[in-house]
Amino acid sequence: MTNPPRRALGREPAADRALAAGPAAGRHDPIPSGVRVIAGTLRRAGHEAHLVGGSVRDLLRGVEPADWDLATDALPERLLELFPDALYENRFGTVAVKVEGETYEVTTYRHDGPYTDHRRPDAVVFGARLDDDLARRDFTVNAMALAIGEDADEEADPSAIRDPFGGQVDLAAGILRAVGDPAARFREDSLRMLRAVRFAATLGFAVEPRTLAAIEADAPLASSVSGERVLVELLLLLAAPVPSMGLRLAQETGLLAAIAPELARQRGVPQDKVPGEDLWDHTCRTVDAAPRPLPGEPPLLRLAALLHDIGKPATFADGHFVGHEAVGASLTEAWLTELHAPRVLTADTVNLVRHHMFVYAAGWTDAAVRRFIRRCGASAIDDLLDLRTADNVGSGLAPDVDGLESLRARCREQLEARVALDLAGLAINGDDLMKALDIPAGPTLGRLLDRLLEMVLVDPMLNDRSRLLTVARELVAADSAESGTGDAAGPSAGTQPT
């Protein structure tokens, strides 16, 4: 399955199209009224107002921009005079202006000073012209500006688009090309190389050969990009229609080895799945097969798909990967922690990687299904089954081999039956047991609760406060009699039959 590059708007002059949508043409204005209010204020005060970067690119593609970036010749202090509630955000000349409940970033045209850390300019210089500002941008399709005013009329004029680097031609051809000398631009800021593979995937564009060669030459510099920035690009890439377009580029250029060496090691590891394909091919197929996230949601399933077999290179022996899911879970945790991923995203991804190797059989009892839910976590079940479905597709198999859909239906049945599936669902809690049986908090109490839950998973009818208390008393008594020490709920906890 390949994703045809999204071509920009054919051969039409881009401005016709961008602006055909304005109110002057009697149609919906794609530019939010808050952005127009800001532009109007700037223009009336004698300044320039341009949309720049991704917003122009996306307007020309007929796609709603993720954010609206405005650029102007007005200096930050002037912006603060014109918009008294605005906040001067950073030393890069970005001012956040709130209009109609939305915050928009307005940036003063700037030159970048020299870069010594391969990431950020040492200083920025204001007072630049629009073309200087466009020249510091990363790719030609991101280096266009659109002059805007309070209403859409003037944008119908093709000269409203400023495009000094041929961004419209590249957009129409589906090409991602660095502005200026690619090697110099990537050495200035190595994040741009990660942005290149991200845009290749999100736009479905091909990377222009010189730009590609420069990434191959300098890929190791990407290891100095901060974890947070790597994560931002990775999550955007994973939300693309076909993430493997970017992942494969990252592997082939050496970027993957710079940011995720353990994943890069998957190349060349044999897999007995799709003939002629290796473990890395399997990972790419699995990621593509995992569902895209909803807008605004993190791409949890795609991330889990990317990492589900990360433990395989380290465990490979005699054609097997014994215990790869446990090793994979720790590698996943280590890497996502290094990237400063949000805790919940890390925990959910680790959980999916750890449990993705379950083996279901039609002979499972309902108790076994409940135990499976308890082990993986009720809220993770749908994701886990979706991950395995993608894993099947990535292995060249039918999506629901191994009875996945039947397991899903059986899990659903248990979840809807509102039986206890975890400690929170138990009709008794630790406090109850401490009071009733006079035992202290601690591991013994934890083991007792676990045993009660195991019994309830086998027989949901047992989940009644007084019955559980009776059982708990018997367990404690039996344990003290057995050990003679009073150590209740000992090592037998958690060993119920299937």
- Rounded alpha-carbon distances, angstroms, from residue 117 to 2, 92, 120, 189: 37, 16, 7, 8
Number of residues engaging ligand ATP in binding (CB under 6 A)? 13
One-letter amino acid for residue 347 of the chain? A
For 95, the token pair is: 């001012």
Q: Does 67 bind ligand ATP (CB under 6 A)?
A: yes
Q: Which is nearer to Mg ion, 63 or 274 (CB)?
A: 63
Residue 138 partner contact from Mg ion, ligand ATP, none using kind-dependent CB cut-offs of 5 to 8 Å: ligand ATP
Among 54, 121, 243, 246, the residue binding ligand ATP under the rule CB under 6 A is 54
Q: By CB under 6 A, tell whether 244 contacts ligand ATP.
A: no
**Residue 191 in the binding site for ligand ATP (CB under 6 A):** yes
Judged by CB under 6 A, which stretch of 64-72, 300-308, 351-359, 424-432 contacts ligand ATP? 64-72
**Burial (CB count <10 Å: 0-12, 13-18, 19+), residue 21:** middle
Q: Which one of ligand ATP, Mg ion, none is in contact with 189 (Cβ closer than 5 to 8 A by kind)? A: ligand ATP
The structure tokens listed for 58 are 């996306």
Torsion angle in degrees (nearest 10) through CA of 33, 37, 42, 44: 120
DSSP conformation class of 139: B
State the nearest-atom distance from the C-beta of 192 to Mg ion, in Å: 14
Regarding 66 and contact with ligand ATP (CB under 6 A), the answer is yes
Q: Given the rule CB under 6 A, which of 10-18, 72-80, 134-142, 426-434 is the region that contacts ligand ATP?
A: 134-142
Q: Indicate the residue among 234 and 350 with the shorter CB distance to ligand ATP.
A: 234
Q: Which positions touch Mg ion (CB under 5 A)?
A: 54, 67
Question: Closest by alpha carbon to 127, among 74, 84, 80, 85?
Answer: 74
192 binds, among ligand ATP, Mg ion, none (CB under 5 to 8 A by kind): ligand ATP
Amino acid at 435: K
3-state helix, strand, coil in the chain (%, to 5): 55, 10, 35
Q: Is 186 exposed, middle or buried (0-12, 13-18, 19+ CB in 10 A)?
A: buried
- Cβ–Cβ under 8 Å, residues 311 and 326: yes
Q: Which stretch binds ligand ATP (CB under 6 A): 187-195, 220-228, 273-281, 323-331?
A: 187-195
**Nearer to Mg ion among residue 97 and residue 367 (C-beta):** 97
Phi–psi pair at 106, nearest 5 degrees: -115, 125
**What residues does 299 pair with on adjacent strands?**
none
Which window, 63-71, 121-129, 257-265, 416-424, contacts ligand ATP (CB under 6 A)?
Answer: 63-71
257 is a contact residue toward ligand ATP (CB under 6 A): no
Distance CA 490, CA 444 (A): 7
d(CA 19, CA 424): 56
Site string for ligand ATP, 286-315 (x = CB under 6 A): ------------------------------
Nearer to ligand ATP, 52 or 367 (CB): 52
Q: How many Cα atoms are found within 13 Å in the side-chain-facing hemisphere of 63?
A: 15
Q: Which stretch binds ligand ATP (CB under 6 A): 65-73, 85-93, 146-154, 286-294?
A: 65-73
Beta carbon of residue 166, minimum distance to ligand ATP (angstroms, whole number) = 15
3-state secondary structure 171-217: HHHCEECECCCHHHHHHHCCHHHHHHHHHHHHHHCEECHHHHHHHHH
Give the CA count within 13 Å in the CB-facing half-sphere of 437. Answer: 30
| Residue closer to ligand ATP (CB basis): 267 or 340 | 340
User: With respect to ligand ATP, which residue has the nearer C-beta, 124 or 448?
Assistant: 124
137 binds, among Mg ion, ligand ATP, none (CB under 5 to 8 A by kind): ligand ATP
Residue 142 interacting with ligand ATP (CB under 6 A): yes
Q: Which of 53, 76, 246, 299 lies at the binding interface for ligand ATP (CB under 6 A)?
A: 53
Which residues lie near ligand ATP (CB under 6 A)?
Answer: 53-54, 66-67, 69, 137-138, 142-143, 189, 191-192, 236
